[in-house]
Amino acid sequence: MAKLTAYAGPTHAYDEFKFSNGEIRPQWHSLLEALGDLDEEEMSTRWRTANRLLQENGVNITGFEQEHQTLRPWEIDLLPAVYSQQDWRFLGEGVSQRAQLIREIVRDLYGDQNLLIEGILPTDLVFKNQEFLRHYSLLPMESSDLLLYGCELARGPSGQWWVMADRGSAPAGLSYTLENRIVLSNTLPQFLRKCQIYRLAPYFIDLQETIKRLTSDRTSNPFVVLMSGGPGHPFHFEDVFLARYLGIPLVEPDDLTIRKNQLWLKTLAGLNRVDVLLRRTADHRIDPLELGGPAPNGVSGLLNVMRLRNVTMLNGPEYGLLDSPVFMPYLRACCQRLLNADLILPSIATWWCGEPAAWATVKRQFENLVIKPAFSHSGSKEYVVSDLTTKERDQLIAQIEKKPWDYVAQEKIIRSTAPCWIRDQIVPGYLAVRTFAVQKDGHFETMNGGLIRVETSPKPMPLSVSAGQYGKDIWIQSDRPVAPISLLARIQEPPELQRGNQRLPSRAADNLYWLGRYLERLEFSARLIRKITERMLSESNQQASEDLMPMLGCLAEQGLIEESFALEGFFPEREKMETVWTKLIWENRNGHGLEGLCGHVIRISSLVRDRMSEDFWRATLHMKETVRPGRGVSLIDLKEMMTELIQQISAITGQIDDGLVHGPTRTFLRIGRSLERARQLAIVLKKFLQRSNVRDVISLVTLLDVCNSIMTYRSRYRGNFAVLPVFDLLVTDTTNPRAILFQFDTLKGLLEELPYRHKRKAQLPPEWDTVRRIRNELQSLLPVSSSKVHWTEYRPGVVELLRKLDDVISEISNQLTATFFVHAEFTQQMDQRREGEVT
């Protein structure tokens, strides 16, 4: 790796790789030796592999539902940042101390308030802070504690470490740290062992053991859930990954309810009491009844349950108070008072403009500072004064002077650098370091690792996980071989045998049901588009116009194309077909087009990602790559794309059928697919029956092909295409998975698998009765083998049944919703508060 050896960092910054005299720091030697066998081409290949793995795992930093935003994939630098055990020990002691200090300050401010009484903290700093809420003052420590702490760090040109921000609310970055390590372990195998790098698993083992210890007085086997802000949250990936890694259910506020002063998870089998809530949502969103805000973002009455010691929240909402930078100038004095010790890791130089002396100091060096809101979490809006025009600076000064207590000023810092392998080049990157501490037996243990965000520019970097151009792993080198440690629990006593999972939240069941429906709708639409495109390529304009109208009508009825396109006489001239048809397919149509339909599948898949395999998620992402407007610009390209899409959907549904354990997850997916398949069949059959040429051989072959039954028909009837056997195969055949009756036979069995909470022998659930009624009507249409049935006798019953089938399917869907998905509750909102996010 000659490029790496020749690397030279900028002279104005502290370089983590080389001393100022150009000598390589000792902790990097083992990595250089391990990299010695790799040439530049191999490094480039592994860099591409690493980032492909991240994309396949869906690692991103923007939620699916954020307005006007798109997914930004997480990119990784292949070279880690290596720190010696001695350096990190010092850093770890400082981080652990700050976590303890944050905990003690919050306890004091919501308790005896000695820091205020003794004048260590100005009263305005606390009482003008909108994060300081009286609602938290009566929360007992057993119900609201600091479990996780995040520390944002930077090393200045002198080599001194500075704390840029404290994170006590719900620190982001843990999952990205894990994912970086996993990806590097796969792309640089054996390197961690050769370089004697500490593992991350002990940190998460401590986390699990602390959760269990904090509830040991109430239960020996606590039911723990992770409460997420949902897929619209910028770091939803984190919540999914962390829940899977820790082996705990991922829930959203709407999955939880308060009954009799207890917190419960709403599941298919009833209510399950929650003992521990690992919170990942914003502080002010936890309880809309007391704190205001939209009800779906919190659980009404949750704070009162915590006051009664009936649930433990980690991290408690009060610990977000010190995430704002306004406390940083006073932490040294607070540490002396509360911990009787000097602050090991100093905060970046910070001045609260609410103090006249501090504001005077700020004005004297205004050009060299960064101005931030005093009471918002660090990482929110900031002003780099040197980047402002003279007019903008004057306006900012006037703004501060009106409300000086609302602002802080911080010193700019040039962060340390390290070599980065970016797109086949080694360049210096400026490092924003974030590491974490977890509570253990009353003190805090710092992770032997962390997350680095890299910028190639020395300008100030926002203090958020979403900032930076690339991610980088932190390797802490041990002075001896590191024992392999896994999060896999040691068997203490055999668990009770279980079948299925009745703790499936109702919301998850609802999402699984609609995922099944959208998957089936997307597949049927792809088959229609492929067949239409195929006929456009092979038929004359007149023949296409007569034969394709039913299929175009199907797409128009579901909003995938303009309705006018399916009208008689509208079909374009042959030379205009390609342009008009491909443009029509890719029209947005307010999310109802093909791309929007694919987007629905991906969005709902993200909602249930914690319940599906990684292979399922990768297949879903591959589908997203397939359905791109830029690919389907010609008829041939569009046809090939639809074939590829159908194959990918088949792979996904194959995993549903063969990869999922028989239980509610699989059942609701299959119910959704069966209902939607019956609906799609009914739509296309109705459209063909409305045409006078339904007996036409071409129409019958087209219909069978769209319904994926052409081979079945040919194996039974050879080349003898007739209308009655075609409709029998697609409507009343109990052996054809593409027949309507087959769907209702399947539904009957699936409904019997569902965990009904109140089974009464005297009265069947309404959806059972509806499915049974339609099955009987379908069976009454069956041709009787002992007598010949004519199309004229069969057709009226089929027409009548298809006419009402859409309403029947909607009725069954509504009945399932009422039985399993909806838990009606009344929530009274007291007021509204601002939005916020976890950083």
Quick one: average pLDDT of 292-301?
A: 75
Quick one: average pLDDT of 541-556?
A: 74
Q: Give the position of tokens 């690397």.
A: 7
Quick one: average pLDDT of 277-306?
A: 85
Q: How many CA atoms lie within 13 A of 668 on its CB side?
A: 26
pLDDT at 827: 37
Report the C-alpha gap between 86 and 360 in whole angstroms.
40
| Whether the Cβ atoms of residue 390 and residue 361 lie closer than 8 Å to each other | no
What percent of the chain has pLDDT above 70? 88
591 class by beta-carbon count within 10 Å (0-12 exposed, 13-18 middle, 19+ buried): exposed
Task: Output the average pLDDT for the chain.
Answer: 86
Q: How many CA atoms lie within 13 A of 94 on its CB side?
A: 22
How many Å separate Cα 587 from the centre of its chain? 27
Residues 450/453/457/462 CA torsion (nearest 10 deg): -110
Is the pLDDT higher at 738 or at 790?
738
Is the pLDDT higher at 612 or at 685?
685
Backbone angles phi, psi at 476, to 5 degrees: -105, 120
Alpha helices, DSSP H, located in 365-491: 390-402
pLDDT at 492: 52
Quick one: average pLDDT of 252-270?
A: 91
Backbone angles phi, psi at 163, to 5 degrees: -85, 120
Extract the runs of DSSP E, i.e. beta strands, from 535-683: none
pLDDT at 63: 42
Q: Is the pLDDT of residue 793 over 90?
A: no
CB contact burial 595-624 (16+ within 10 A = b; e otherwise): bbbbbbbbbbbbbbbbbbeeebbbbbeebb
Question: Taking the model in full, what pTM does it have?
Answer: 0.84
Q: Give the position of tokens 């659930």.
A: 765
pLDDT at 491: 45
Backbone angles phi, psi at 835, to 5 degrees: -75, 165
| Whether the Cβ atoms of residue 551 and residue 706 lie closer than 8 Å to each other | yes
Report the C-alpha gap between 353 and 368 in whole angstroms.
15
Quick one: average pLDDT of 678-693?
A: 88
Report the C-alpha gap between 605 and 673 in whole angstroms.
14
Report the C-alpha gap between 704 and 697 in whole angstroms.
11
Q: What is the pLDDT of residues 730-765, one digit of tens each?
A: 999 999 999 999 999 999 999 998 887 655 555 678
Q: Which of 544, 41, 106, 504 is nearest to 283 (CA)?
A: 106
| Whether the Cβ atoms of residue 296 and residue 253 lie closer than 8 Å to each other | yes
Backbone angles phi, psi at 347, to 5 degrees: -80, 155
12: how many CB neighbours lie within 10 A of its CB? Answer: 9
Q: Is the pLDDT of residue 218 over 90?
A: no
Which of 118-132, 484-498, 723-737 has the weakest average pLDDT?
Answer: 484-498
Q: Which of 403, 423, 338, 352 is nearest to 50 (CA)?
A: 423
What percent of the chain has pLDDT above 90? 52
- AA identity, residue 834: R
Report the C-alpha gap between 199 and 72 in whole angstroms.
28
Quick one: average pLDDT of 687-710?
A: 86
pLDDT at 586: 79
Q: How confident is the model at residue 838 (pLDDT cuts 50, 70, 90)?
A: very low
The residues, ordered by sequence, that sit 6+ positions from 16 with a Cβ below 8 Å of its Cβ are 25, 81, 82, 83, 155, 416, 417, 418, 431
pLDDT at 762: 52
Q: How many CA atoms lie within 13 A of 557 on its CB side?
A: 17
Is the pLDDT higher at 699 or at 526?
526
Report the C-alpha gap between 30 and 479 in whole angstroms.
11
The residues, ordered by sequence, that sit 6+ positions from 646 with a Cβ below 8 Å of its Cβ are 523, 526, 527, 530
Q: 499: helix, coil or strand?
A: coil
Report the C-alpha gap between 77 and 54 in whole angstroms.
12
163 class by beta-carbon count within 10 Å (0-12 exposed, 13-18 middle, 19+ buried): buried
Whole-angstrom Cα Rg for the chain? 31
- The DSSP H or E segment spanning 470 is strand 470-477
Which of 84-98, 304-318, 684-698, 749-763 has the weakest average pLDDT?
Answer: 749-763
How many Å separate Cα 754 from the centre of its chain? 27
Q: What is the pLDDT of residues 624-658, one digit of tens each?
A: 888 877 665 788 888 999 999 999 999 999 888 88
Q: What is the pLDDT of residues 766-787, one digit of tens each?
A: 899 999 999 999 988 876 554 5
Which of 72-86, 477-491, 599-613, 809-823 has the weakest average pLDDT?
Answer: 477-491
Quick one: average pLDDT of 305-316?
A: 94
pLDDT at 68: 38
Q: Is the pLDDT of residue 355 over 80?
A: yes
Q: Is the pLDDT of residue 165 over 60?
A: yes
Q: What is the pLDDT of residues 47-57, one digit of tens each?
A: 888 888 887 77
Q: 561: helix, coil or strand?
A: coil
pLDDT at 67: 37
| Whether the Cβ atoms of residue 578 and residue 586 lie closer than 8 Å to each other | no
Long-range contacts of 55-59 (CB under 8 A, 24+ apart): 55/621, 56/618, 56/621, 57/179, 57/614, 57/617, 57/618, 58/237, 58/606, 58/609, 58/617, 58/621, 59/176, 59/179, 59/237
Report the C-alpha gap between 810 and 819 in whole angstroms.
14
pLDDT at 639: 92
| Whether the Cβ atoms of residue 760 and residue 819 lie closer than 8 Å to each other | no
Q: How confident is the model at residue 501 (pLDDT cuts 50, 70, 90)?
A: low
Report the C-alpha gap between 780 and 771 in whole angstroms.
14
Which of 23-27, 524-528, 651-655 has the weakest average pLDDT?
Answer: 651-655
Q: How confident is the model at residue 379 (pLDDT cuts 50, 70, 90)?
A: low
Report the C-alpha gap between 89 and 80 in whole angstroms.
18
pLDDT at 633: 72
Give, as one character, the DSSP assignment of residue 327: G
Q: Which of 187, 154, 124 is nearest to 407 (CA)?
A: 124
Report the C-alpha gap between 371 and 409 in whole angstroms.
5
Alpha helices, DSSP H, located in 718-790: 723-727, 740-753, 766-780
Q: Is the pLDDT of residue 154 over 70?
A: yes
* Alpha-carbon dihedral sign for residues 817, 818, 820, 821: positive
CB contact burial 522-553 (16+ within 10 A = b; e otherwise): bbbbbbbbbbbbbbbeebeeeebbbbbbbbbb
Q: How confident is the model at residue 202 (pLDDT cuts 50, 70, 90)?
A: very high
373: how many CB neighbours lie within 10 A of its CB? Answer: 17
Quick one: average pLDDT of 70-79?
A: 75
Report the C-alpha gap between 450 and 422 in whole angstroms.
20
Report the C-alpha gap between 202 and 32 in whole angstroms.
27
Report the C-alpha gap between 487 and 480 in whole angstroms.
21
pLDDT at 786: 45
Q: How confident is the model at residue 344 (pLDDT cuts 50, 70, 90)?
A: very high
Q: How confident is the model at residue 302 (pLDDT cuts 50, 70, 90)?
A: very high
pLDDT at 545: 56
Q: Is the pLDDT of residue 64 over 50?
A: no
- AA identity, residue 561: I
DSSP one-letter string for 168-208: -SS---HHHHHHHHHHHHHHSTTHHHHTTBPPSHHHHHHHH
Which of 144-158, 213-227, 513-527 has the weakest average pLDDT?
Answer: 213-227
Q: How confident is the model at residue 794 (pLDDT cuts 50, 70, 90)?
A: confident
Quick one: average pLDDT of 399-418?
A: 96
pLDDT at 804: 92
Q: Is the pLDDT of residue 548 over 90?
A: no
| Whether the Cβ atoms of residue 716 and residue 671 lie closer than 8 Å to each other | no
pLDDT at 157: 96
Quick one: average pLDDT of 201-207?
A: 92
Report the C-alpha gap between 9 and 155 in whole angstroms.
14
Tokens of 644: 């590829």
Q: What is the pLDDT of residues 26-37, one digit of tens each?
A: 999 999 998 887
Give, as one character, the DSSP assignment of residue 18: B
Which of 151-155, 278-282, 647-651, 705-709 has the weakest average pLDDT?
Answer: 278-282
